Chains A and B, each alone.
Chain A
Amino acid sequence: GDSVTQMEGPVTLSEEAFLTINCTYTATGYPSLFWYVQYPGEGLQLLLKATKADDKGSNKGFEATYRKETTSFHLEKGSVQVSDSAVYFCALFYNQGGKLIFGQGTELSVKP
């Protein structure tokens, strides 16, 4: 079945470090891909999305490129801040199926 696999956390970085959180997916069709972020004590928020191969989603300095050949959607940021500390979820979505399938989440902790 369809699934999403993320790199395990927690990921601990110093402020201004470069961030990569790996995400790969297994899908039978052509899903849209998403990154959601969950700050402590809150619900998830959409961070960015890409709807087709080679699309790049970006928001708040974060980027991810939909790579069909490697079935990946890795999240990157050039310089992280303490305020980026959160749990990040990769997800895929089929319009036909109508449901969002999440990875297990990767906790990021950024130290000053």
Chain B
Amino acid sequence: DARVTQTPRHKVTEMGQEVTMRCQPILGHNTVFWYRQTMMQGLELLAYFRNRAPLDDSGMPKDRFSAEMPDATLATLKIQPSEPRDSAVYFCASGSAGRTGELFFGEGSRLTVL
């Protein structure tokens, strides 16, 4: 059963620490999205990739966030340094450019920054 895998599922860290979240997209999917979900802001698109190339990261705070796809099986979202306002659930989703808009979401990484 193909699915998007995210790690870690839960992370508690202290302000100023580096946080790295990882995502394994579904094999064969060529688009990868990172979303952040909070009660106040809802779902925000942070960044997305097509064929491993970043297409749009305008939703991401550039000074502390970075997103990469080192290879087709791994996407990473890094926060350095982390701040309490980064506390949220971070979702990765993957899709196929041929089935536009149909995304498969991971279960999310719940981040708490103290």
Contacts and interface: CB of A to CB of B under 8 A. Distances in A.
Chains A and B come from one and the same complex? yes
Interface of A: 32, 34, 41-46, 49, 89, 91, 93, 95, 98-105
B107 to A, nearest CB: 5
A32 B100 contact: yes
Interface stretch (B13-21, B48-56, B61-69, B78-86): B48-56
A95 B98 CA distance: 9
B56 A105 contact: no
Contacts of A42: 107-108
A95 B104 CA distance: 17
B56 A44 contact: no
A99 B105 contact: no
A42 B9 CA distance: 11
B24 interface: no
A42 B33 CA distance: 16
Interface string B25-36: 000000101000
Nearest to B4: A43
Chain B: interface size category? 20 to 34
A32 B91 contact: no
B114 interface: no
Nearest to A95: B100
Please indicate which of the listed interface residues A32, A43, A93, A103 has the most CB atoms of chain B within 10 Å of its own CB: A43
20 contacts: A32-B100, A32-B101, A34-B102, A42-B107, A43-B93, A43-B105, A45-B105, A89-B43, A93-B100, A93-B101, A98-B31, A98-B48, A98-B50, A98-B97, A98-B100, A99-B33, A99-B55, A100-B45, A100-B101, A100-B103
